[in-house]
Amino acid sequence: MRVLAGARLPDPDPRSTITVAAAQLGGPWLDVGARLKRLTEAARLAAAEGVKVLAFPETYLSGYPFWLTRTHGANFDDAAQKACYAYYLDSAIEVGGPEQRELEAVAADFGLTLLVGVTERGRGPASGSVYCTLLTITPEDGLAGHHRKLVPTYDERLVWAHGDGAGLRTHAVGPARVGGLNCWENWMPQARHALYAAGEQVHFGTWPGASKVSRDVTRFTAMEGRVFAVAAAGILTVDDVPDDFPLAAQLRDNSARMPFDGGSAVAAPDGTWLVEPVRGEEGLVIADLDLRAVGRERLTFDPTGHYSRPDVFSVTVNRTRREAVAFVEGSPRD
């Protein structure tokens, strides 16, 4: 693994500068153990480069459900599709489980805040459901953020459950406040608005890896929020599909050699590229961010400050975790 591209300052001021990176990675699809090893390798390299925040692609652990568009995923009551979903469900991780503890150890060992896209298996009443989730892991506190994608996009709704607003939060890392959204959530004006209002200065968008999809919205988010916008995108080749996946042969036959080509990038608060989208190979995209640029650009536009109109527009964000059932316990004799 190597550094693919970077935007480094000759003499960064630690009082106003933070170094961030996007890990543009692939690896065996739906193999959490193999991908955790690659994640750890990326963290080791990032720490050596002075990175403080390291972001990984959407559902990097265990993988994006790309079989749906290539194997007639909407066929109702189809035995093969049921088998695919069961395989995918078994590959998902539980928040609070051993994978989270391993991520916390990586964050602590290397002094990194990690933003990691995971395929999350629900617990309790949702143990048969999968969420597209973005975890924020800090060296000091472990799990600091647990955001479930608000609306799965198009065919994703066949396998991902709807999330909620509990994770629409930002987190302090050194001099910066950072936040993040999954894939097409980055197109949702209200979701972006919630993070801007929570003081976001560095916005991370996680993507499965389609540069033509992530390019425009990364620059737009930077310009709209007057924030630094970082796209963390994945790589996937058909060779990464395991042989025992129920529709492996059909999936390979109906896919390009590299279904996901990356596109990780970094845009400045004025919408200019610090690092243009990088495609087709694995590695780190690194940038030193001078946070003073955020203040300079907000002279002309601050979307939740002097350019808001709370007398005209009312915005409420419900940040409670939503569950299907709430059990009210009585006495043991009831």
What is the percentage of the chain residues whose pLDDT exceeds 90?
94
Q: What is the pLDDT of residue 210?
A: 85
pLDDT tens digits, one per residue of 45-65:
999 999 999 999 999 999 999
Please, which residues have CB within 8 angstroms of residue 205's CB and are 6 or more apart in sequence? 180, 181, 182, 183, 186, 214, 217, 218, 221, 229, 230, 231, 232
At 330 the pLDDT is 83
Q: How much is the pLDDT for 108? A: 98
Task: Choose among 263, 264, 186: nearest CA to 225.
Answer: 186
pLDDT at residue 19 above 90?
Answer: yes
Give the span between the Cα atoms of 58 and 153, in whole angstroms.
13
183 is catalytic: yes
Whole-angstrom distance, CA of residue 219 vs CA of residue 23 = 19
Q: Is the peptide bond before 62 cis (omega within 30 degrees of 0)?
A: yes
- Which ranges in the chain belong to alpha helices (H)? 32-48, 79-91, 98-110, 189-197, 211-225, 248-253, 292-297
Closest CA relative to residue 208, chosen from 316, 326, 329, 69: 69
Domains of the chain: 3-297 (3.60.110.10)
pLDDT-derived band at 331, boundaries 50, 70, 90: confident
In tens, the pLDDT along 200-252 reads 999 999 999 988 889 999 999 999 999 999 999 999 999 999 999 999 999 99
Q: What pLDDT, on the 0 to 100 scale, is given for residue 177? A: 98
At residue 334, the pLDDT reads 59
Q: How many helices (H) and strands (E) does the chain have?
A: 7, 14
So what's the pLDDT on residue 39? 98
Q: How many CB atoms lie within 10 A of CB 237?
A: 17
Rg (alpha carbons) of the chain, rounded to whole number: 20
Question: Distance between CA 290 and CA 295 in Å, rounded?
Answer: 10
- From 149, 156, 200, 224, the catalytic residue: 149
- pLDDT score recorded for residue 112: 98
User: What's the mean pLDDT when you consider all of the chain?
Assistant: 96
Predicted pLDDT of residue 329: 87
Q: State pLDDT tens for residues 135-186.
A: 999 999 999 999 999 999 999 999 999 999 999 999 999 999 999 999 999 9
pLDDT score at 318: 96
How far apart are the C-alpha atoms of 239 and 166, rounded to whole Å?
A: 37
Q: Which residues contact 123 (CB under 8 A, 6 or more apart)?
A: 94, 95, 96
Q: Is 1 helix (H, G, I), strand (E, B) or coil?
A: coil
* Contact in structure between 130 and 122 (CB atoms under 8 Å): yes
Of the candidates 58, 99, 156, 297, the residue annotated as catalytic is 58
CB 255 within 8 A of CB 229: no
- 132 part of the active site: no
pLDDT of residue 138: 98
**DSSP per-residue codes, 61-106:** BS---TTTTTTTTT-TT-HHHHHHHHHHHHH-B-TTSHHHHHHHHH
| Catalytic residue from among 84, 99, 132, 183 | 183
Sign of CA dihedral 177, 180, 185, 186: positive
327 within 8 A of 321, measured Cβ to Cβ = no
Q: What local confidence, expressed as pLDDT, does residue 79 receive?
A: 98
